[in-house]
Structure 1
Amino acid sequence: MTMTDALAIEVERLRLRYGTTDVLHDVSFQVRRGEVLALLGPNGAGKTSTIEILEGFRMRSAGRVEVLGVDPARGTEQWRARMGIVLQSWRDHPKWRVRELLAFQGSLYAPYSTAQVRRPWDIDDLLAAVGLTAQAQQPVKVLSGGQRRRLDVAIGLVGRPELVFLDEPTTGLDPKARRDFHELVRRIRDEFETTVLITTHDLDEAEKLADRIVILAAGRIVADGTSEQLTRQIAGHDEVRWVQGGEHLVRHVPDSTAFARELFAREGAEIHELELRRASLEDAYLSIVRTTESSDGDAADIEAQTNGAVR
């Protein structure tokens, strides 16, 4: 398998402009097949615009984009049948029952079933997979928010896609429904052999779900890596606090554990109330967002804030 074959998505120097306003600025990233990638950023960062370009629903201004080996601007219906899409909000289908709606959606994929396009799911198997077997005969209008979101995912999966787009999928869900949804996303990756691109403004969600995180701020990629890599790259220094000789002292250091050991070896019993606070990705992410908002997306300010960790 070549490097290109191993990639589900390739984005290179993507730009989007409305009039004289740049919404996306030279955005570049890749998604490997079988990977869960979170496109993370605050509201207005350009996440939805990016995902709509990848889905073929919005035209880009410049740059190169390939999704499953095809330029989305020239995607055919057969190409679209290889993808599943779960939007931020749903359209209600109050007259449909759950199983009937899924069966109808699955029938739309049947004409495109080829060696390249997988056969649609068996509806009963899909209902079991998303935890909706008990609701199979219920009208869609009586489902809870969490159940409705599971149905949205089932609709996105019914064609057994190679790639699924989840755009802010847990917005408005209560904590339990959100937790259940996270477990469902893990199953999509692990059991369904599906590549997943999820957009979110929630760092905790990105850390829990994603193999890799791409941070988008003011239309620019400002960091790209695993949660652990990003923490090392952009989270900054640990904080160490202690009392010595009646004085409260604070130091910011790269490694709080090593600093504490050296401190005790040097000062010993003089050290009291020692407190170590490790740098976190959350601190770094919030700092990036604040910098972006205060600088109106100035590239130099963002680059400085991320310590050169862009890509």
Structure 2
Amino acid sequence: MAQPSGPALVADQLVKTYSGGRGKPPVRALDGLGFEVRAGTVFGLLGPNGAGKSTTMKILSTLSRADSGSAFVAGIDVVRQPSRVRRAIGFVAQKPVSDPMGTGAENLVLAGRLQGMSGREAVARSRELLDRFGLTGHARRQVKTYSGGMARKLDVAIGLMHRPQVLFLDEPTTGLDPEARAELWLELERMTTGENLTVLLTTHYLDEADRLADRLAIVDHGRVVAGGTPEELKNGLRGDAVVVELASDADPFAGLAALQRVEALREVGGDGRTLRGRADSGAATLPQALAALEAAGVAVASATVARPSLDDVYLRHTGRTFTRAQESAELVLENAR
């Protein structure tokens, strides 16, 4: 199936509000979110839980409808022609989609048949994908015996069975151990190399977004607050990050005031006992920062200098670190239960 000449994905001013329930106020999941994705690229939506990533993916895959705004997948309007959109996409949800009692091969053939493939075509395609994902030796095993990494590879293979134009990967490595995550990353990179497949990836892992995405949109409270390639976003922050972790008995406010007096530091801020700023030369500025803290009687546990990271980008555009945003989102989810 040929790719459209225009963008593979378009989201334009998407708004989605959910009822709060039990007398609680409504929740604005998307608040004018928008982006475009070029065909044949991996586009990442990066944000903490609750930022609006999964809601965006549900709207683009026709599983939900926006309150307002428009969306197109492979040039197809998701509201006017949802059945055409479903034929053009593969969808890998956060939770497993395979039948644990079936074998890997049986799950793939069933997925192909559901997409209208002939029996012979489905069997041939399943063998191709089992080989690609290193599952040929496990094809006749029940999925319930698979490791988490193997089961996740099978989920991705199921999404690819009918050769979609666009593949949606919703938090593909959540719950996997570091080794399984790294292995799946390698498979995803091989999968997209040399193929004109467009991938929309949602993730709350900074390293995953940095590694896999050609371009990123950083999402916060239902809006895109920054976008570009990972390198463009990081290079937009001029200079080095100077990060100081204060001792447990230190006064963060006194430490913050001390760093703000260091002329070579700019964008000085704090997040609990972690203080940070930006400098043209981190190596030259760090001794000055430590001297200022010592003069103020503020004890330091550790100090580092690093090139800009996506966490720094997130901090610049949202006013808080990604870790703190993720912790806040998890607390909200816990209180809502």
TM-score grouping bracket, smaller chain normalisation: 0.7 to 0.9
Counterpart of 2:281? 256
Deviation at 1:109, TM superposition (A): 2.1
Which of the numbers 238, 241, 252 marks the counterpart of 2:240?
Answer: 238
1:108 equivalent in alignment to 2:111:
no
**What is the 5 A alignment of 1:147-296?**
147-233=150-236, 235=237, 237-239=239-241, 251-252=264-265, 255-256=280-281, 277-286=306-315, 288=317, 291=320
Q: 1:40 to 1:103 in 2, by over 3 A?
A: same
Query: Conserved in 1, the CA contact under 8 Å of 2:54 and 2:202?
Result: yes
Deviation at 1:23, TM superposition (A): 1.7
Superposed CA deviations along residues 222-250 of structure 1, whole A, max 9, x for unmatched, are 000011111133x4642579xxxxxxx77
Deviation at 1:175, TM superposition (A): 1.1
Q: Distance in 2 between matches of 1:239 and 1:286?
A: 12
Deviation at 1:207, TM superposition (A): 0.2
Q: Distance in 2 between matches of 1:240 and 1:48?
A: 33
Q: 1:64 to 1:254 in 2, by over 3 A?
A: farther
Residue 43 of structure 1 aligns to a residue whose secondary structure is: coil
Q: Distance in 1 between matches of 2:54 and 2:6?
A: 25
Count of residue pairs the alignment pairs up = 267
Which of the numbers 44, 66, 71 marks the counterpart of 2:50?
Answer: 44
Deviation at 1:154, TM superposition (A): 0.7
Which of the numbers 74, 77, 83 marks the counterpart of 1:77?
Answer: 83
Between 134-143 and 277-286, the greater mean CA deviation after superposition: 277-286
AA aligned to 1:88 is: Q
Q: Distance in 2 between matches of 1:175 and 1:240?
A: 27
Q: Distance in 1 between matches of 2:37 and 2:164?
A: 15
Show structure 2 runs of 5+ residues with no match.
Answer: 20-25, 244-261, 266-277, 286-303, 326-337
Q: TM-score, normalised by structure 2?
A: 0.71
Deviation at 1:287, TM superposition (A): 5.6
Q: Distance in 2 between matches of 1:277 and 1:178?
A: 25
Counterpart of 1:146? 149
Which of the numbers 131, 134, 137 marks the counterpart of 2:134?
Answer: 131
Deviation at 1:152, TM superposition (A): 0.3
Show structure 1 runs of 5+ residues with no match.
Answer: 113-118, 242-248, 261-274, 296-311
Q: Distance in 1 between matches of 2:13 and 2:309?
A: 30
AA aligned to 2:72 is: E
Residue 16 of structure 1 aligns to a residue whose secondary structure is: strand
Query: Conserved in 1, the CA contact under 8 Å of 2:9 and 2:73?
Result: yes
Superposed CA deviations along residues 48-83 of structure 1, whole A, max 9, x for unmatched, are 000000000101011121111111123343431221
Q: Distance in 1 between matches of 2:82 and 2:52?
A: 25
Q: Distance in 2 between matches of 1:221 and 1:194?
A: 23
Counterpart of 1:65? 71
Residue 163 of structure 2 aligns to a residue whose secondary structure is: coil
Query: Conserved in 2, the CA contact under 8 Å of 1:256 and 1:278?
Result: no
Query: Conserved in 1, the CA contact under 8 Å of 2:239 and 2:279?
Result: yes
AA aligned to 2:63 is: F
Q: 1:238 to 1:292 in 2, by over 3 A?
A: closer
Q: Distance in 2 between matches of 1:4 and 1:157?
A: 19
Q: TM-score, normalised by structure 1?
A: 0.77
Which of the numbers 35, 49, 60 marks the counterpart of 1:54?
Answer: 60
Query: Conserved in 1, the CA contact under 8 Å of 2:15 and 2:31?
Result: yes
Deviation at 1:276, TM superposition (A): 5.2
Deviation at 1:11, TM superposition (A): 1.1
Counterpart of 1:246? none
Deviation at 1:195, TM superposition (A): 0.6
Identity within the alignment, %: 40
